[in-house]
Amino acid sequence: MNQQNIFASTQIIAFNPILKETADTRIQYFMYLRKLIRLVRWDKRKYTRAQMRFYKGILCDGQKVPVHTSSASFDPRFCCLLPYDLAAMLAFHSKVVNSEKAKIIINKIISDFHLPKERAAFFLLEFEASLGSLPAWEEVLRSNLTKGFKRYLKLVKENISFIKARPYNILITATMSAGKSTLINALVGKDISLMQNMACTSKIHTIISKPFEDGVSSEYDHDLSMDASKEDLLSDNENNMSHKIAVGTYFNGGLSGKRIILLDSPGVNSSENAEHAEISQQIIKAKKYQLMIYVLNATQLGTTDEEHHLEIVRQSLGRSNIIFVMNKADKLISEEDNFLDSIDSQRKFLISKGFKKPLICPISCRAAYLVKKSRLEGLSRIERSEIENFMDKFEEQRLADYYEEVLDCPHLSANNEEDALFINCGFAHFEKMIADLYEGGKADGTDIC
């Protein structure tokens, strides 16, 4: 499996029925998993060690865990769950899971729990299912040995199928201060990228979606954390000598449940950040993406740096789709000016730079981010005041009208004031465009909707 794709896995232990058992049973289950891993020296693998730390935190909840265990002392009916947790702890690596060491583990389970020998065949079948074999899954879900665990195992199957699916890669690029990080946080619905008006990092952040929410974000930034803190996510590890950081998390909103990878290239400023520009140009020219989102700062259009970066994009884009995002669109709304004039001017500018039919999406990433945050965790007093100001602004001039009348997008309905803001700030339609492209839609202006 591609190293990045392991971050697309939901932490299935968060849904394991063992969590409903007593603390002693959970600890015994962890100790036995650890024993099996150590038996065949799989604990030498970096990813497996990180998973063992995470499993210990979930299953043992801070309680002291004995260093050694002499025997397994939990209900044998939970044995049928072991193959899926072992596969998850091994990054679903087929050569590892299907190795002779797996057979050693199976025989150990049978011996420890005094199980009939015919269970060995079933355990082998479960390991095949843990790697995505559909025939194996059909037999596993039909078996009486998994009685009582069907709902959980269907989640496991969904998770494995999601990982194996081909991802839809989206490259996000911009010059400095365009609001690229705020856009990413709004798409994901979480604080994943540091939002500030400066060149924050020279790293390529790869942000990988999970199939369903497990309450954690995983990160590889020199160190590997399966439950990265907010501080970890918003800062770069100085020991990471590479240009890459990978994050796995669930996307809240219109992209939920979709197999998407966001490639966040460094913000460029050709006169001051040659390294950032070089890294961004390399990933643009590599063309390992199906969609590019180019973020424009609505208050600073047509700068020299912008023209230079647009030329790199035009030469390298090839057949990939591109959406131009005019971020900070709220700054264009005033009693004196019509924001449609600004969009038209930007369209003419992009055409003059060689983009024949540019698709321009005016949005306020900050407004969208605040809406999603309010749904999940609530807002501070200052943020509440900010979102109310956005509501007033976008009630006067609805960006939704532009999407419906100019881009011929469908009308979207709102159930409350925050839903209305999410639509009127342009983000609901923008997210739907990405979802439609993900499903195989077109990108030639009006047809994208």
**Domain carrying residue 105:** 3-164
Together in a domain, 288 and 392: yes
The model's pLDDT over 129-176, given as tens digits with 9 standing for 90+, comes to 998 899 999 999 999 999 999 999 999 999 999 998 999 999 999 887
Type and span of the H or E element at 122: helix 119-130
Q: What is the pTM of this model?
A: 0.90
* Residue 420 binned pLDDT confidence (cut-offs 50, 70, 90): very high
Q: Which residue has the higher pLDDT, 3 or 259?
A: 259
Task: Measure Cα distances from 386 to 191, 195, 237, 325, 424 in Å.
Answer: 18, 16, 32, 22, 15
* Residue 445 binned pLDDT confidence (cut-offs 50, 70, 90): very low
Q: Which two tokens stand for residue 39?
A: 């038996």
Q: Which two tokens stand for residue 193?
A: 């990228």
What's the structural domain count of the chain? 2
Q: 149, 164, 179: which is the final residue of a domain? A: 164
Together in a domain, 335 and 443: yes
Using DSSP bridges, classify how beta strands 291-297 and 204-209 pair: parallel, antiparallel or unpaired.
unpaired
For 167-187, give the DSSP string.
PEEEEEEEBTTS-HHHHHHHH
**Range 109-126 average pLDDT:** 87
Look at residue 446 and tell me whether its pLDDT is greater than 50. Answer: no
Together in a domain, 256 and 347: yes
Q: 146, 164, 182: which is the final residue of a domain? A: 164
> Mapping DSSP to helix (H, G, I), strand (E, B) and coil, where does residue 12 land?
helix
Q: Which residue has the higher pLDDT, 34 or 204?
A: 34
Together in a domain, 259 and 148: no
Q: Which residues pair with 413 in a beta bridge?
A: none
Q: 164, 194, 211: which is the final residue of a domain? A: 164
What is the pLDDT, as a whole number, of residue 447? 40
Q: Give the separation between CA 146 and CA 48, rounded to whole angstroms.
A: 26
Q: What is the CATH number of the domain that holds 417?
A: 3.40.50.300
Together in a domain, 141 and 175: no
Together in a domain, 279 and 392: yes
Together in a domain, 269 and 191: yes
User: Under a CB-based contact definition with an 8 Å cutoff, are residues 326 and 343 in contact?
Assistant: yes
Report the first-to-last Cα separation within the chain, whole angstroms.
Answer: 34
**Range 255-277 average pLDDT:** 78
* Residue 194 binned pLDDT confidence (cut-offs 50, 70, 90): low
Type and span of the H or E element at 53: helix 46-60
Together in a domain, 101 and 191: no
Together in a domain, 206 and 246: yes
**Range 326-341 average pLDDT:** 79
* Residue 338 binned pLDDT confidence (cut-offs 50, 70, 90): confident
What is the pLDDT, as a whole number, of residue 400? 94
Together in a domain, 322 and 404: yes
**Range 309-318 average pLDDT:** 87
**Range 332-351 average pLDDT:** 81
Alpha helices by DSSP H, 333-378: 339-352, 365-376
Look at residue 64 and tell me whether its pLDDT is greater than 90. Answer: no
* Residue 320 binned pLDDT confidence (cut-offs 50, 70, 90): confident
What is the pLDDT, as a whole number, of residue 449? 36
Longest Cα–Cα distance in the chain: 81
Selection from 339, 338, 356 nearest residue 347 by Cα: 356
* Residue 336 binned pLDDT confidence (cut-offs 50, 70, 90): low
Using DSSP bridges, classify how beta strands 244-249 and 204-209 pair: parallel, antiparallel or unpaired.
parallel
Together in a domain, 127 and 209: no
Together in a domain, 141 and 244: no
- Provide the total of helices (H) and of strands (E) in the chain, helices listed first: 18, 9
Q: How many Cβ atoms from other residues are within 10 Å of residue 305's Cβ?
A: 18
């197999």: which residue's tokens? 259
